[in-house]
Structure 1
Amino acid sequence: MKISIAIPTRERGQYLRHSVQTALEIDDDNIEIIVSDNASSDGTKELMQEFDDSRLVYVNTGARLSMRQNFETAFNASTGDYLIYFGDDDGILPKQFPYLRQLLEANRPDGLSWIKATYGWPIEGYGRKTGGVRFYRDNCFGAPKAFHGADNLQKLMTADVSNLRPVPDIYHGCLSRAYMLKTSMDGRTVFDSAIPDVNLSYRSILKDGHFIGVDHPFSINGYSPASTGGGHGAEQNNSSGTNSSKLFAKENITDPMSDVFPHAGSVPLAFFSTLETLRRNHGLEAIQPDYLSWYKYVRGSTRKNPALAEQIQGILRDHAEAKGIQSVLDAALQGPPQAKRSLQERFARAQGQLSSFRVSATEGGENTILTAAHMIDAILGQDFGAVLSGDMTSRLAWKEAKRRSKDFQRQL
């Protein structure tokens, strides 16, 4: 069974070098690493030529495309039975990868979901808590559990997106090639809206499937000034420092496969647009969202940016008029915008912090996604294999991980 690891990239060679290396350190001959370069001009092609590994496949789009098209390019260049995507400032955990393969081969699910670790690149002037990784007790060594995509349908329809867990995913998750093609709109195009990973997650909920979820990290989500998600977040918060969301919007204009409405630099609006685009493209109009909940959720992203609020209200008004539900939008606009997190979610987050610890990723004077992968693998060790075999409890595995973490520099 071949597993493809796809890394779409665009003008981020300084991060990509380390991201690719995390995958190359996997001790597995039956993988391929696809680097799909979206016509970068920063020496990415020359960088890839420095690597000498037959498992590495480099493709170049030849002209600047949308993110969706670059994801599609990576898919078309791949040959694996299962695919994993992550970004060019992200990484995979090479020593945990054997357990990922073990779960896939034992269960042959439509997809495998996990909880990714999070690492902030220590770039001067960017971020507050960077250069390390926080370990959460409930996010490590959890036993695999089967679930159906449709289990999350009610949450998706009511815009309860922060609680879509576990959820099928291609980005820091794994889906089978057969499932991606089976659920596509034409049997060929696997990504059919602007946010490729959200597209596959929501599609897997709307069209269902059999999945495995595990509370254990197999990859690391890296955030940096170049991250598209970070650019959207900065725009929502009316802060500067990145233009990645504007580049994303500019590149989308060239894509002939457009979403129902623009995203306006808002993550919640992008989620809503993805859902509505999927319903249109796949003839799923019979599955009706709770528009009052979605309008309230989207409006919550405008609390810190009045100019963005006006722009988003215009987009929502156009949507409401097209659906004939102006009164629903009027009701959503009454009162203050919805808070990003409920009190219950904030309390759960605080509780999780109490049983966590944070460790620096510095190794030999460097601090990158690669050194973060080395540190996480060293702390997690091989205990997840023992948990899967029943030879060790997750509680004991966590205790051993905390013991091993003492060999590293702790962070607050």
Structure 2
Amino acid sequence: MLIPTRDRCQTLGSTIRSCLAQDYADLRIVVSDNCSDDDTAAVVAGFDDPRLRYVRTPRRLSMTGNFEFSLSLVEDHDAYVMHIGDDDGLILDGAAQAAGIIRETGTRAVNSAHAVYHWPSSLYPNYANRLIMPLGRGYHHVSGLSAARDVMAFRRGYAFLPSTYTGFIAKSVIDAVAAGGAYYASITPDSYSGFANAGILERYVYARRPFAIAGLSGRSNGGSNVTTGDSSEANRYLAENDLPTHTDVVYCPKSIPLVVAEAFLQARDRVPRLGAIDFDANRLCRVALRDVAPENYAAVRNAVAQMVQQHGLKLNVPTAPTRGQAFARGIDRTLLRVRRLRESYRRIDAAAQGVTDVAGAGRLANELLGKAGA
């Protein structure tokens, strides 16, 4: 487990507790501290466990740079690697579940269904202290190219891909992507790694039972990018980025489709097998306008208008959201709700269960999965 962090000691302790609570003996946890100015070092020092290692970066890095640095700390070339955010957590037996699937199948990558915990400080106040998770069971094999194609056709979210941020990936896959150089080549490490790994892998395993929980706290980068609240984390993330964005996309952090497409194009430039997947700029622009929140419409419209001109597209770019876009968005959300019902997603009031952090959410998730027989 690799935990890249900076100045988030308030949530980091809970993330570490969720990892140390695992009963899988071969788990190793490395905290890669990006020159924090807060009590991060003290928080890590407060845990007395030989499985936990603390390393401070030699200088201040970009977020993606810290992800890259943390990979250099993996000494076992037979290891399986997962990055986990400093407000995320593992479900109580998540590591053992993943290891069991790897033993049974011999897969070089295993990803799982997506679970989310909104911290009490979530940038989405209506979801504060809510746990959203599937109660599925079993697993199936997925074609890497088919998964990448589905994501770029916007039939699936990028979390379906075998990312180092959502699954356990063999170090050999990471080394194949890096090819002797840097592994990451995009400002967005989670979606980039998903595409790049999918391009290397003939097949991977997707578990319907989640291993980990994505935490959304008041300082989450993703939430800071797309909400209208505190944008300081997003601004710092962008200001410190040292990777050029792909020239075929006008990068706009307010639009998940544009961000995902940028990561795909960077991965396609690095991994030849991804060349089998076409980049449909017209479809991307339509989906970006469809999915944007009204408060972010102006920023996304501006990016789309530039792309329309750049690619010579015949696409109308309305100055304000239209009823047609709202109708298309409603259909897409209905399809998502149907799929989540099939995948047994539940929304749980974690506060009512005495949960106030992601480690508690990991224990609660394990209890719920056990009761559901998952």
1:45-87 deviation line (CA, Å, top 9, x unaligned): 1211111111111111233211211111111112341011111
1:323-362 deviation line (CA, Å, top 9, x unaligned): xx31x2x425369484584515415516846966544434
Q: Name the residue aligned to 1:389.
A: none
Aligned counterpart in structure 2 of residue 263 of structure 1, from 222, 244, 251? 251
Aligned counterpart in structure 2 of residue 84 of structure 1, from 82, 85, 95? 82
Aligned counterpart in structure 1 of residue 185 of structure 2, from 192, 200, 213? 192
1:114 positional shift: 0.4
1:378 positional shift: 2.3
Q: Is the 8 A contact 1:86 1:171 kept in 2?
A: yes
Correspondence 1:12 to 2:11: no
Q: 1:33 to 1:281 in 2, by over 3 A?
A: same
1:259-295 deviation line (CA, Å, top 9, x unaligned): 2156332222211211222233446667431121112
Q: Name the residue aligned to 1:145.
A: 140
Calculate the TM-score normalised by the size of structure 2. Answer: 0.86
Rounded to whole Å, the distance in 2 between the matches of 1:286 and 1:217 is 30
Aligned counterpart in structure 1 of residue 164 of structure 2, from 170, 174, 184? 170
Aligned counterpart in structure 1 of residue 48 of structure 2, from 47, 52, 61? 52
Q: Name the residue aligned to 2:57.
A: 61
Q: 1:170 to 1:42 in 2, by over 3 A?
A: same
Q: Name the residue aligned to 1:23.
A: 19
Q: Is the 8 A contact 1:362 1:372 kept in 2?
A: no
Rounded to whole Å, the distance in 2 between the matches of 1:356 and 1:196 is 26
1:358-411 deviation line (CA, Å, top 9, x unaligned): 444349966111111121222323xxxxxxxxxxxxxxx62x58xxxxxxxxxx
Query: Aligned ranges for residues 1-400 of structure 1 at < 5 Å?
Result: 5-80=1-76, 81-123=79-121, 127-135=125-133, 139-162=134-157, 166-184=160-178, 186-234=179-227, 239-252=228-241, 255=242, 257-261=243-247, 263-266=251-254, 267-282=256-271, 287-300=277-290, 301=292, 303-309=294-300, 311-313=302-304, 315-317=306-308, 321=310, 325-326=311-312, 328=313, 330-331=314-315, 333=317, 336=322, 338-339=325-326, 341-343=329-331, 345-349=333-337, 352=340, 357-362=346-351, 367-381=356-370, 398=372
Count of residues paired in the alignment: 362
Rounded to whole Å, the distance in 1 between the matches of 2:115 and 2:4 is 19
User: Unmatched 5+ residue regions in structure 1?
Assistant: 382-396, 402-412
1:183 counterpart SS class: helix
1:97-140 deviation line (CA, Å, top 9, x unaligned): 322111112222120010132111112885212223245xxx32
1:218 positional shift: 1.0
Identity across matched positions, percent: 23
User: 222-231 or 302-311: which moved more?
Assistant: 302-311
Q: 1:226 to 1:7 in 2, by over 3 A?
A: same
What is the CA RMSD across the aligned residues, in angstroms?
2.9
1:147 positional shift: 1.5
Q: 1:315 to 1:206 in 2, by over 3 A?
A: farther
Calculate the TM-score normalised by the size of structure 1. Answer: 0.79
Rounded to whole Å, the distance in 1 between the matches of 2:300 and 2:139 is 41
User: 32-41 or 305-314: which moved more?
Assistant: 305-314
User: 272-281 or 194-203: which moved more?
Assistant: 272-281
User: 144-153 or 12-21: which moved more?
Assistant: 144-153
Letter aligned with residue 289 of structure 2: R
1:28 counterpart SS class: coil
1:142 counterpart SS class: coil
Rounded to whole Å, the distance in 1 between the matches of 2:332 and 2:42 is 49
User: Unmatched 5+ residue regions in structure 2?
Assistant: none
1:223 positional shift: 0.5
Q: Is the 8 A contact 1:92 1:218 kept in 2?
A: yes
Q: Name the residue aligned to 1:406.
A: none
Q: Is the 8 A contact 1:39 1:64 kept in 2?
A: yes
Letter aligned with residue 14 of structure 2: H
1:34 positional shift: 1.1
Letter aligned with residue 265 of structure 1: P
Q: 1:363 to 1:313 in 2, by over 3 A?
A: closer
2:126 counterpart SS class: coil
Q: 1:244 to 1:125 in 2, by over 3 A?
A: closer
Letter aligned with residue 8 of structure 2: R
